Amino acid sequence: MKERKHQILFRLNDTEYEDLKRNVKRSGLNREAFIRSALKNIKFKEMPQIEFFEILKNLRQINNNLNQTARKAKAYGFVDARVYRENYSKLQEQIGEIIRGIY
Model's pTM, two decimal places? 0.48
pLDDT tens-digit map of 33-71: 889 888 888 776 666 677 778 888 888 888 888 888 888
Residue 72's nearest CA partner among 83, 61, 63, 58 is: 83
Residue type, 60: R
Share of the chain above pLDDT 90, in %: 15
Sequence-ordered list of residues with C-beta below 8 angstroms from that of 2, at least 6 positions apart, any chain: none
CA atoms within 13 A on the CB side of 51: 9
